[in-house]
Structure 1
Amino acid sequence: MRILVVHPHLYVVGGSEILTKILVYELASQGHDIVVCTHHKRDDLFPDSKNVHFEFFKEIPELKGKVSDITWRIMNLHYTFEETLRKWEPHVVLLMIQEPIYAVLIKAVKPEMGVAMYIHYPFEEELTPENLRKFIEMYRFPNLYGSFYRVVDIHMTNSNYTAKALHKHFGIESNVVYPAVDWDYFS
């Protein structure tokens, strides 16, 4: 199976990035062909391998400065997803960060594509007015969450706490899938 995994910032070392690493290389070890779509990655955490391929967010330089920064980034994502879906023809898409705009753009390109999203931490605990700009620079759009969560086909959360927050704020039911632990932990 060919799986498109999307995470915008794989150069940061946090919970979702480590979880994405574990998932990508475990799925690849099971014989799946994995395409990872990101803006940046750390080569030491995400090396190229036989079954793991990387596509980076494309930028449309002609539009930079002519439209708002948010619009420019969303157009970059649409262009990237259109090209990546056409090139790799994945069977399913897995969003490893709670950015439902990615699901909207993927469905705009290929409406029948199945999209699952892993939600690892409720947004209301990490978002502040002071760091909103940083979120946008990292291709994250928290102001669009509420409108677009329902576009996602399957919602997965890392805990009952996160599932309750998702239900409380957006009325969305989710499946709790506890995070994986890297095999090296057991060595």
Structure 2
Amino acid sequence: MGEMKVLLFHPHLDVKGGSERLTKLMYKGLKENGVDVLLCSYAYDRDWFEEGEVIRDPGDLGRMVREQKPDWVFLAISESSYVSFLGDRVRTAMYVHFPLEEEVDEGSLGLYERKGRFLRTDLQSLLRIDRLFANSSLTAMAIRLVWGKEPVVVHPPLEPLFFEQPIKRTEVPYPRILYVTRFTPLKRPDFLILILPTIRKEVPEAELVLAGFPDPRHLHYFEQIVRLSEKVGGVQVVPSPSDQELLELYLNAKVFAHPRIGEHFGLSPCEAMACGTPVVIRGPTGLKDLGLASIAYSDWDFLQMLIKVLKADDEEWFGLSQEAQKVVKSLNYKDFSQKIIGGLA
């Protein structure tokens, strides 16, 4: 297995989101498992990716296949059209976060395309993909329904810093609600701002922290979030936090709120749970795979669950904290990489 050679591709590694973080950890894990990995993308954020080949257009993928002769080309984003540039002799795998890009609209389509995205599924190219990996059973079901193919479910991993040393919470935090996300409409951070006054009727000291990465394709929405936060008050917006800053935010929150409806998996709530922060998630969600109990299937239930955690006494909150850590203990990048390698064998 140490002789395996993989060309790992993601079109935009200059965006800090879930698929980019997964690519980062896959690259690290495959290398540590003795796989010869060549990373390539159109652009990088060098905070996350110190090395990697820059390509200029999709045709460069075919050139790299001819020159490097990899055993596998691994597409870290679910766009089968790239297969048409690879030639006929290389096996291809694809990690599917969802078989449809849900955040694009008529106004942003051009921005996605300029980031190297091929959002129209190429059915002929899809037939040439040898392995499909999915991030959850929810995504796997969508793949079966939309593409008629059977994927292997491999849950995404968390950054090593969440497992390097055990985190044990010893103090119940201030009634602070945290949401870590990319600032896009589908993630619904505005919903949390709008329900904060209702929450304060039950928990007057409650405050909200919105942290994450402004998406260049949705900057207008991010600007709206900032203005709405200032208007409502009691809301802190933390753009582009470092991993260490994220860790501190998780450790200082009493509850992590995830209002996105239909989240395919969700790395940030898993990071929060690894830190012992209870989460409330709007369903449906791929995190159901992990046996998570705090899934709300209506906005009303979501609101009531949030208030319940905020009002929890010390004993109840510490119980929720310990249970949260148990839910995500399997999500380390080493196990993830070994499962990927096993799926390529």
TM-score class, shorter-chain normalisation, is 0.7 to 0.9
TM, length-normalised to structure 2: 0.44
1:32 corresponds, among 30, 35, 54, to 35
Amino acid in the other structure paired with 1:81: L
1:18 corresponds, among 16, 21, 33, to 21
The equivalent of 1:85 in structure 2 is: 65
Range with greater deviation from structure 2 (83-92 or 9-18): 83-92
Q: RMSD between aligned alpha carbons?
A: 1.6
1:102 corresponds, among 64, 82, 86, to 82
2:104 corresponds, among 127, 130, 136, to 127
2:34 is paired with a residue of what secondary structure?
A: coil
How far apart are 1:149 and its partner, in Å?
2.1
Q: Is the Cα contact below 8 Å between 1:92 and 1:113 reproduced in 2?
A: yes
Higher relative contact order (CA 8 A, sep 6+): 1
| Aligned ranges 1:36-185 → 2 under 5 Å | 36-48=39-51, 54-58=52-56, 76-78=57-59, 80-106=60-86, 109=87, 111-185=88-162
Residues in 1 aligned to 2:19 and 2:122: alpha-carbon distance in whole angstroms: 18
After superposition, the Cα gap between the structure-2 partners of 1:181 and 1:162, relative to the gap in structure 1 and judged at 3 Å, is same
Residues in 2 aligned to 1:29 and 1:128: alpha-carbon distance in whole angstroms: 39
Residues in 2 aligned to 1:121 and 1:170: alpha-carbon distance in whole angstroms: 11
Q: Is the Cα contact below 8 Å between 1:155 and 1:173 reproduced in 2?
A: yes
How far apart are 1:119 and its partner, in Å?
0.3
Q: Is the Cα contact below 8 Å between 1:150 and 1:172 reproduced in 2?
A: no
Deviation sequence 1:64-104 (CA, Å, 0-9, x none): xxxxxxxxxxxx312x0232112222111111001101122
How far apart are 1:124 and its partner, in Å?
4.8
The equivalent of 2:163 in structure 1 is: 186
Residues in 2 aligned to 1:56 and 1:100: alpha-carbon distance in whole angstroms: 20
After superposition, the Cα gap between the structure-2 partners of 1:129 and 1:145, relative to the gap in structure 1 and judged at 3 Å, is farther
Residues in 1 aligned to 2:65 and 2:128: alpha-carbon distance in whole angstroms: 18
Residue ranges of structure 1 left out of the alignment (5+ in a row): 49-53, 59-75
Give the count of matched residue pairs.
161
The equivalent of 2:187 in structure 1 is: none
The equivalent of 2:247 in structure 1 is: none
Residues in 1 aligned to 2:109 and 2:96: alpha-carbon distance in whole angstroms: 19
The equivalent of 1:7 in structure 2 is: 10
Residue ranges of structure 2 left out of the alignment (5+ in a row): 165-345
Considering only CA atoms, is the larger Rg found in Structure 1 or Structure 2? Answer: 2
Range with greater deviation from structure 2 (138-147 or 149-158): 138-147
2:78 is paired with a residue of what secondary structure?
A: coil
After superposition, the Cα gap between the structure-2 partners of 1:127 and 1:166, relative to the gap in structure 1 and judged at 3 Å, is farther
Residues in 1 aligned to 2:107 and 2:30: alpha-carbon distance in whole angstroms: 37
Q: Is the Cα contact below 8 Å between 2:101 and 2:119 reproduced in 1?
A: no
Residues in 2 aligned to 1:55 and 1:159: alpha-carbon distance in whole angstroms: 30
